[in-house]
Structure 1
């Protein structure tokens, strides 16, 4: 049952509303925006204070706690949005925005978890389910979807406190390659193009190391949007801007295997022909014909 104080407050509010409805409308029309905001906040806090009156006095929820968590979520959301927008190009959201994302998730955990000195009461119903749009839930789902689509978990350690060593090593090698591009792109002679240019010759080893490391990270499922964007931009510069190609060191084995496969049918048929049993047909005379021939031979001798 409701407490006596809650019943008195509700009764006074109903009396004031029924007796001075016209004056209340006039006051609302004549008041400014700040006054309306103050009244709305007061009304929200009053409604929050009346909600837990159905439970025991020892488990009453403090509305100021929910307001504080709401402000904390708003600040975390603003910090994360600012970081994501600032690191959108070139894409470095996973490396530089993981702290803001973890702070937002920590605040969301506080909202859904029971408050202090209570095992059941929380701000989840008040902040997450009190409105039809569910603004906080929509914002939280948006950040989760963005983080999942970017595969940022692949570049952050299990404790979610720092980037992986493999990610840092890849970005360090990427910075070295960009430095090589910037320092050698202006020293190419006009008659040097493609692999004969100074950029392709000087940066070939670094580019190959970066490409091999990217392949290893791809096989180990340690790629995120930061590494994918860095490698895509690198390949675009290497092939389209500088017209470089990565020389293949396995040319001779590939050619040998191709020639062997090409002549494999001929070798098969030749070996089959040589190892097959070619039996010659032998003419076998019938016994009757053989006896007649012997008789004719004897008669010749007698004559």
Structure 2
């Protein structure tokens, strides 16, 4: 009887020890998730303007995903996630994770990185690297212009801008609100605003010259036509003189009189 009691106490202590270890592991995983989600939130806020959320916060986002997945692993026959999900109405852990997940996916950040075995990695995708190279080339061209003249920048760097813009259009679905990774979208929007402010005025000036020239040519053509129409000598139509008809009638009358005299 004493031996049975000792065995029972040993089993109970082992069970309590295992549970305590499981609870300790769960507390560790919960703290890891809390730290990761807090770091990601702080990183997202710090990189909200200009938007570099994807590139600068990918490491912390991966930690959020991994720490949440770790909570779903079994420790001592129980899953830590069961202690924090579906047991209360607030669903704090799940809500925080879904908020991080939703922010990351609304920004289409996955487009900026490579996946390995269906898992997100911090390795930059090829199209992101190509876009970054076009952007760096444009910035180098702008900064390398010695006079810093807007006109010179626009003329010298036009080709670099066209390369960047064309590549962006090729990788982006512009029918969507966010056609590609948000970091790229923000860079392109900023570049387009810069180029529009800096360079489009010269293009508009050239367009105005072309339009003015076209209007001037059309106006001169119209004036020339009107002058030709109203000031040119008009050709007078030929009208038969009525005296010719009278002469013909007189001639007939004379012939008739001559015939009458001969008969008499």
The alpha carbon displacement at 1:210 in A equals 0.4
Counterpart CA distance in 1 for 2:139 and 2:90 is 46
Aligned residue number for residue 134 of structure 1? 91
Q: 2:165 aligns with which of 192, 211, 224?
A: 211
Counterpart CA distance in 1 for 2:45 and 2:139 is 23
Please, which runs of 5 or more residues in structure 1 have no aligned partner?
A: 5-52, 248-303
Counterpart CA distance in 2 for 1:130 and 1:71 is 18
| Change beyond 3 A, Cα 1:97–1:60 | same
Q: 1:178 aligns with which of 124, 129, 139?
A: 139
| Change beyond 3 A, Cα 1:172–1:87 | farther
Q: 1:91 aligns with which of 42, 51, 54?
A: 51
Q: Which is richer in strand?
A: 2
Aligned residue number for residue 62 of structure 2? 102
The alpha carbon displacement at 1:152 in A equals 0.9
Counterpart CA distance in 2 for 1:175 and 1:82 is 28
Secondary structure of the structure 2 residue equivalent to 1:97: helix
Whether the aligned pair in 2 keeps the contact of 1:151 and 1:224 (CA below 8 Å) is yes
The alpha carbon displacement at 1:58 in A equals 9.6
Secondary structure of the structure 1 residue equivalent to 2:71: helix
Secondary structure of the structure 2 residue equivalent to 1:158: strand
Q: Does 1:235 find its partner at 2:195?
A: no
The alpha carbon displacement at 1:235 in A equals 0.9
Q: Normalising by structure 1, what TM-score?
A: 0.54
Q: Does 1:168 find its partner at 2:126?
A: no
Counterpart CA distance in 2 for 1:185 and 1:133 is 60
| Change beyond 3 A, Cα 1:64–1:156 | same
Whether the aligned pair in 2 keeps the contact of 1:154 and 1:223 (CA below 8 Å) is yes
Q: 2:80 aligns with which of 99, 114, 123?
A: 123
Counterpart CA distance in 1 for 2:37 and 2:146 is 42
Counterpart CA distance in 1 for 2:128 and 2:42 is 23
Whether the aligned pair in 2 keeps the contact of 1:91 and 1:225 (CA below 8 Å) is yes
The alpha carbon displacement at 1:89 in A equals 1.6
Secondary structure of the structure 2 residue equivalent to 1:157: strand
Aligned pairs, number: 184
Q: Does 1:75 find its partner at 2:32?
A: no
The alpha carbon displacement at 1:204 in A equals 0.6
Counterpart CA distance in 1 for 2:184 and 2:112 is 9
Aligned residue number for residue 291 of structure 1? none
The alpha carbon displacement at 1:180 in A equals 2.7
Superposed CA RMSD in Å reads 3.0
Counterpart CA distance in 2 for 1:187 and 1:174 is 18
Aligned residue number for residue 114 of structure 1? 74
The alpha carbon displacement at 1:215 in A equals 1.8
Whether the aligned pair in 1 keeps the contact of 2:173 and 2:180 (CA below 8 Å) is no
Aligned residue number for residue 259 of structure 2? none
